[in-house]
């Protein structure tokens, strides 16, 4: 076992580590299609803000800035960060939030060149630290501890089956989180680097252990 694996075992306990290993054989990613993703990008209104070209000139980052080789969980973090601004823009124009199914997220990810293989190897300890530092437990609970506002993260089973399903769930949940953050005067968390990947794998391992 590597030093990282030994540290994870000590921090999370043998039950959680075993749960993580069992969860490694989770459901495969829904197959994505870049052509369908390009069409979806237009249908869902993404092109309203993300214009082609290096500088774009739209309300959001240029298409070239978001359509590039990247990890799937990296993209998930960027979508989460972007959601409050996009939610405000959609509300201003009287448009509905573009919810995505896992299959649609897979197509969009293929178009945006996001692949799970490009995400870094997760660090479960850092994932646990991220959960605390980002204030997730102010609203959510984990194994009974935390806030009373949102769901118990250890029972969020289906969303941990794959990074694609997690990204779809995160995207669909973001507007509600942004609204609640403003109402409760809680800072909306943002993710950078490998934070989302570490958080996802830590929560996935915890949920797997909870099912035992």
Residue 170 lies in a domain: yes
Q: Determine the pLDDT at residue 46.
A: 85
For residue 3, pLDDT beyond 90: no
- Residue 166 has phi, psi (to 5 degrees) of -65, -45
Q: Determine the pLDDT at residue 110.
A: 97
Residue 108 lies in a domain: yes
- 122 SS3 class: coil
Residue 42: burial class (beta carbons within 10 Å; 0-12, 13-18, 19+) = exposed
Residue 14 lies in a domain: no
Residue 21 lies in a domain: no
Tell me the residue range of the domain where 193 lies.
31-210
Q: Tell me if 148 sits within 8 A of 189, measured CB to CB.
A: no
Residue range 135-155: mean pLDDT, rounded? 87
User: What's the pLDDT tens digit per position in 196-210?
Assistant: 999 999 999 998 888
Residue 10 lies in a domain: no
User: What's the pLDDT tens digit per position in 40-68?
Assistant: 999 988 887 888 866 556 677 888 888 99
What does pTM read for this prediction? 0.79
Closest by CA position to 71, among listed 127, 20, 124, 113: 113
Residue 22 lies in a domain: no
Q: How many domains does the chain have?
A: 1
Closest by CA position to 143, among listed 15, 7, 5, 8: 15
E-strand spans in 31-174? 70-71, 114-115, 141-142, 145-146
Residue 12 lies in a domain: no
Residue 7 lies in a domain: no
Q: Which residue has the tokens 């029972």?
A: 155
User: What's the pLDDT tens digit per position in 115-124?
Assistant: 999 999 999 9
């Amino acid at each position: 076992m590597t030093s990282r694996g030994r540290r994870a075992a000590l921090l999370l306990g043998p039950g959680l580590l075993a749960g993580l290993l069992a969860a490694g054989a989770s459901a495969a990613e829904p197959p994505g299609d870049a052509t369908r993703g390009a069409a979806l990008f237009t249908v869902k209104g993404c092109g309203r803000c993300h214009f082609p070209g290096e500088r774009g000139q739209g309300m959001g980052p240029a298409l070239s800035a978001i359509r590039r080789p990247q990890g799937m969980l990296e993209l998930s973090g960027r979508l989460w960060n972007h959601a409050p601004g996009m939610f405000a823009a959609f509300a201003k124009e009287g448009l509905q939030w573009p919810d995505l199914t896992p299959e649609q997220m897979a197509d969009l990810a293929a178009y945006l060149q996001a692949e799970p293989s490009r995400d870094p190897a997760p660090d479960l300890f850092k994932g646990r630290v991220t959960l605390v530092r980002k204030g997730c437990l102010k609203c959510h609970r984990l194994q009974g501890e935390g806030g009373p506002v949102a769901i118990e993260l250890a029972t969020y089973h289906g969303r941990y089956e794959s990074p694609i399903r997690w990204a779809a769930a995160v995207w669909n949940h973001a507007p509600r989180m942004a609204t609640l953050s403003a109402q409760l005067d809680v800072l909306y968390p943002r993710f950078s680097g490998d934070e989302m990947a570490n958080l996802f794998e830590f929560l996935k391992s915890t949920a797997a252990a909870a099912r035992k």
